[in-house]
């Protein structure tokens, strides 16, 4: 699948509250998939999924969204940042779109912002 990240209105509204708030996590720790892909991977809306790239892995909530088949949209934030890596190809800006990822259903929990930071510092 190809990862796409971008800012969302809901993310922008919750960031004003706090990046460590539950509402921010609910707005950003989510992956939007095409309905056909949700069915193909034997998932349903609300399931927890693990998303893996060459840079890292993260657990987010699965939701149906207006994306193409084989695309996965995660709002910009700590959860997406784990997957995009720091390679800038000399541009000074990492790639936020078109990153190869694999997904699978999981029983693992979604890490909050503090837990993500602790994990990255290990």
Render pLDDT for 87-101 as a digit per residue (tens, 0 to 9).
Answer: 656 665 556 677 999
pLDDT of residue 121: 78
What mean pLDDT is reported for the chain? Answer: 87
List the one residue out of 58, 48, 97 whose CA is nearest residue 78: 58
Q: Are 27 and 14 in contact (CB under 8 A)?
A: yes
Query: What is 2-120's CATH topology?
Result: Barwin-like endoglucanases (2.40.40)
List the one residue out of 77, 65, 67 whose CA is nearest residue 29: 77
Q: Is the pLDDT of residue 102 over 90?
A: yes
- Angle, vertex CA 114, rays to CA 9 and CA 27, nearest 5: 20
Confidence of residue 47 (pLDDT cuts 50, 70, 90): very high
Render pLDDT for 60-90 as a digit per residue (tens, 0 to 9).
Answer: 999 999 999 999 999 988 999 899 876 656 6
Domain ranges in the chain?
A: 2-120
Q: Is the pLDDT of residue 112 over 90?
A: yes
pTM: 0.87
pLDDT of residue 87: 66
Query: Which residue blocks in 1-122 are alpha helix, DSSP H?
Result: 9-15, 22-28, 35-40, 78-84, 113-120
pLDDT of residue 91: 62
List the one residue out of 29, 33, 52 whose CA is nearest residue 41: 33
pLDDT of residue 107: 95
**Phi, psi at 116, each rounded to 5°:** -65, -45
């Amino acid at each position: 699948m190809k990862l796409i990240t971008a800012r969302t209105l809901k993310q922008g509204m919750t960031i004003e509250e706090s990046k460590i708030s539950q509402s921010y996590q609910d707005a950003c720790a989510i992956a939007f998939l095409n309905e056909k892909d949700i069915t193909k991977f034997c998932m349903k809306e609300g399931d927890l999924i693990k998303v893996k790239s060459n840079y890292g892995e993260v657990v987010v909530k699965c939701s149906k969204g207006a994306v193409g088949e084989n695309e996965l949209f995660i709002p910009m934030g700590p959860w997406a940042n784990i997957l995009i890596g720091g390679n800038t190809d000399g541009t000074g800006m990492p790639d936020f779109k078109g990153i190869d990822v694999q997904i699978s259903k999981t029983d693992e929990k979604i890490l909050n912002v503090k837990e993500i930071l602790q994990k990255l510092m290990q």
